[in-house]
């Protein structure tokens, strides 16, 4: 049986032309994988199992959200959207200043300046409620090391220590730490004139103190409150189930895409051609300049599977954006993730092509050497054929 092909006597393809062809192959394989994964997502997301998983994780998330809201370490606006911590801090500083001016019947107060802000006292101070009420009432749910950081004295001392003690009225005057009138007037002046440095310093110190207490409270409930930790474990378990499903989808679509593009198409197009090779009039022969055998395709497929793993991470990022970093960054085994594999595979491809520049006679890449094949350039042969036909 004649194993010679049209490319048997052709010259080896130059590394630069091969680089262009392989890059185009990479893009086409990526598009194919994205399409296959999209089809898989469409099918899987409409299965009862996927719907059940989504419902379960949403329910756990809602419980975590409700618990945090009930502790007042989070706050929602009128539309139900969670406020950022900076917004909560700003609401406190404006509200505390407004309350002090109103309590002392300050005649210089400008009501329009505080429009949209509520006066803050013990009934609506987020941090006060958490440390004095919520944590005290649910003390047994906290770890032993965290239980001491609660109560009125702790809250007053922490707020005063982080800002400045003379910012607040004495405990003899009020258990709740209202701002003194002098400090309220100083901050109020800064609200009117933002170039007033003394007022800015007072505003900044009070904001930083409250932000620190708020941040510590959020960390406290997430790290030391057992009911929240139990919900977190349930959430992580449900997330792991969903991530495992997405991982399987990615791997299957990856293997199918590569099998179609690097095995089925080269067999159908003959001479080991992919779409880019056919467009660029390039073909593949074995190391004896003969037609490729089945084992050449098998070896090449296995190597391509190992070398093109970055397609998985890229597909994840295309579909899920930045949130995909949590998926592709998950450790598959040990400290190895799709993200670290992608970085490594890019490095391997770079080394692969550098070797082709060193192989002067055949211009083979490391992959081609391992699969015992040589990429030939049939462009000159096509030119000769056209001349012969004239």
- Write the pLDDT tens digit of every residue in 172-196: 888 999 999 999 999 999 999 999 9
Q: Which of 124-133, 157-166, 346-355 has the lowest mean pLDDT?
A: 157-166
Per the CB < 8 A criterion, the answer to whether 309 and 341 are in contact is yes
What residues does 285 pair with on adjacent strands? 374
Given this model, what pLDDT does residue 341 score? 86
333 has a pLDDT exceeding 70: yes
Given this model, what pLDDT does residue 385 score? 47
Higher per-residue pLDDT: 225 or 344:
225
> Rounded mean pLDDT of the chain?
89
Given this model, what pLDDT does residue 2 score? 59
Given this model, what pLDDT does residue 380 score? 60
Q: How confident is the model at residue 257 (pLDDT cuts 50, 70, 90)?
A: very high
Q: How confident is the model at residue 390 (pLDDT cuts 50, 70, 90)?
A: very low
What element of type H or E holds 139?
A: none
Per the CB < 8 A criterion, the answer to whether 207 and 128 are in contact is no
Mean pLDDT of the 140-157 span: 91
Confidence (pTM): 0.74
339 has a pLDDT exceeding 70: yes
What residues does 376 pair with on adjacent strands? 12, 283
Instruction: Report d(CA 368, CA 370) in Å as an integer.
Output: 5
Q: Which residues contact 189 (CB under 8 A, 6 or more apart)?
A: 196, 198, 199
The rounded Cα 302 to chain-centroid distance in angstroms is 30
Given this model, what pLDDT does residue 387 score? 45
Q: To 10 degrees, the CA torsion angle through 4, 6, 9, 12? A: -110
Instruction: Report d(CA 34, CA 316) in Å as an integer.
Output: 9
How, if at all, do strands 282-286 and 331-333 pair? unpaired
Given this model, what pLDDT does residue 160 score? 84
Given this model, what pLDDT does residue 140 score? 93
Which candidate, 312, 364, 317, places its Cα nearest to that of 338?
312
Q: How confident is the model at residue 41 (pLDDT cuts 50, 70, 90)?
A: very high
Mean pLDDT of the 12-40 span: 92
Q: Find the radius of gyration of the CA atoms of the chain.
A: 33
Mean pLDDT of the 301-316 span: 89
Mean pLDDT of the 381-387 span: 46
Given this model, what pLDDT does residue 321 score? 86
Q: What values do phi and psi take at 287, rounded to 5?
A: -65, -10
Mean pLDDT of the 87-108 span: 95
Which single residue is written with the structure tokens 């030391």? 224
69 has a pLDDT exceeding 60: yes
Q: Which of 13-22, 55-64, 205-214 has the lowest mean pLDDT?
A: 13-22
Q: Which residues contact 82 (CB under 8 A, 6 or more apart)?
A: 65, 74, 75, 76
Q: How confident is the model at residue 363 (pLDDT cuts 50, 70, 90)?
A: confident
Q: Which residues contact 368 (CB under 8 A, 6 or more apart)?
A: 356, 362, 374, 375
């Amino acid at each position: 049986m004649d194993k010679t092909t049209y490319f048997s006597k052709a010259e080896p393809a130059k590394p630069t032309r091969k680089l262009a062809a392989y890059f185009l192959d990479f893009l086409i394989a990526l598009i194919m994988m994205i399409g296959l994964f999209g089809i898989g997502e469409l099918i899987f997301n409409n299965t009862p199992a996927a719907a059940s998983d989504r419902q379960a994780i949403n329910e756990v998330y809602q419980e975590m959200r409700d618990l945090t809201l009930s502790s007042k370490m989070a706050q929602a606006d009128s539309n139900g959207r969670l406020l950022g911590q900076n917004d909560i801090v700003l609401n406190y500083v404006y509200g505390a200043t407004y309350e002090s001016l109103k309590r002392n019947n300050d005649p210089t107060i400008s009501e329009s300046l505080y429009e949209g802000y509520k006066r803050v006292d013990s009934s609506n101070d987020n941090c006060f409620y958490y440390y004095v009420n919520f944590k005290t009432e649910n003390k047994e749910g906290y770890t032993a090391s965290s239980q001491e950081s609660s109560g009125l004295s702790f809250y007053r001392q922490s707020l005063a220590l982080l800002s400045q003690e003379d910012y607040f009225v004495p405990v003899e005057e009020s258990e709740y730490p209202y701002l003194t009138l002098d400090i309220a007037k100083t901050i109020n002046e800064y609200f009117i004139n933002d170039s007033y440095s003394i007022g800015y310093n007072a505003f900044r110190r009070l904001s930083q103190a409250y932000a620190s207490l708020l941040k510590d409270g959020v960390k406290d409930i997430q790290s030391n409150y057992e009911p929240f930790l139990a919900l977190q474990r349930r959430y992580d378990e449900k997330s792991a189930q969903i991530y495992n499903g997405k991982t399987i989808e990615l791997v299957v679509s990856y293997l199918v895409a590569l099998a179609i593009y690097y095995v089925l198409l080269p067999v159908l197009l003959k001479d080991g051609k992919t779409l880019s090779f056919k467009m660029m009039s390039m073909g593949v022969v074995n190391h004896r300049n003969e037609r490729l055998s089945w084992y050449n395709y098998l070896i090449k497929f296995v190597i391509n599977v190992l070398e093109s793993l970055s397609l998985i991470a890229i597909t994840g990022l295309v579909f899920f954006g930045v949130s995909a970093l949590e998926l592709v960054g998950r450790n598959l085994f040990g400290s190895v993730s799709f993200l670290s594999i992608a970085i490594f595979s890019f490095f391997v491809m770079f080394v692969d092509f550098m070797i082709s520049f060193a192989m002067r006679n055949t211009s083979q890449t490391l992959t081609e050497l391992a699969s015992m094949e040589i990429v030939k350039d049939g462009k000159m042969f096509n030119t000769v054929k056209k001349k012969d036909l004239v």
